[in-house]
């Protein structure tokens, strides 16, 4: 499916909004000691940010594994983003899946807490990359 620039911009904005809102839920869940729920929300905050970046750059994604593969291919392997962000995304997916599907698994609070700040940094970096591309596009359309 091909998107117009306006549709793409709207979709990217919605994904980034969802990433920010989902990230805010983490504070509520950690305060209530709901670690599996917080891990879920942390993963989805990053997932929505990554999808915003992929959509912004015209990389179609339909699945979680597709999102991971495209993210690693276009941003980690190319050096646009540091490998730590790729590892973080993988760790969050594993933590979320274990917390959601394995009733014997308990998310360790320390493990989750260590990943909150790097996830925030990843989301902010995605927002910067999206804004940078918007500025370049606006400059080129004004000429």
In this predicted model, what pLDDT tens digit does every residue of 80-114 receive, in sequence order?
999 999 999 999 999 999 988 999 999 999 999 99
- Comparing CA positions, the residue from 8, 4, 2 lying closest to residue 130 is 8
Whole-angstrom Cα distance, residue 124 to residue 139? 23
Burial class (CB in 10 A: 0-12, 13-18, 19+), 64: middle
What is the band of 3 on the pLDDT scale with cuts at 50, 70, 90?
A: confident
Inter-residue long-range contacts of 7-12, CB under 8 Å, 24+ positions, other chains counted: 8/55, 8/56, 8/58, 9/134, 11/52, 11/55, 12/52, 12/55, 12/56, 12/130
What is the band of 143 on the pLDDT scale with cuts at 50, 70, 90?
A: low
What does the angle CA 28 – CA 118 – CA 110 come to, to the nearest 5 degrees?
60
pTM of the predicted protein model? 0.91
Whole-angstrom Cα distance, residue 25 to residue 130? 23
Summarize pLDDT for 32-73 with one digit per residue, the tens: 999 999 999 999 999 999 999 999 999 988 899 999 999 999
């Amino acid at each position: 499916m091909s998107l117009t620039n306006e549709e793409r911009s709207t979709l990217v904005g919605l994904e980034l909004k969802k990433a920010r809102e989902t990230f805010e839920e983490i504070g509520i869940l950690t305060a209530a000691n709901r670690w599996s729920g917080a891990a879920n929300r942390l993963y989805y905050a990053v997932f929505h940010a990554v999808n915003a970046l992929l959509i912004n750059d015209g990389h179609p994604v339909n699945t979680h594994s597709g999102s991971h593969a495209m993210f690693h291919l276009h941003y980690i392997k190319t050096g646009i983003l540091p490998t730590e962000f790729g590892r973080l995304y993988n760790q969050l997916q594993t933590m979320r899946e274990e917390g959601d599907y394995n009733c014997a698994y308990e998310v360790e609070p320390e493990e989750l807490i260590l990943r909150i700040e790097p996830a925030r940094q990843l989301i902010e970096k995605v927002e910067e990359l999206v804004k940078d591309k918007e500025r370049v596009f606006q400059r080129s359309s004004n000429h």
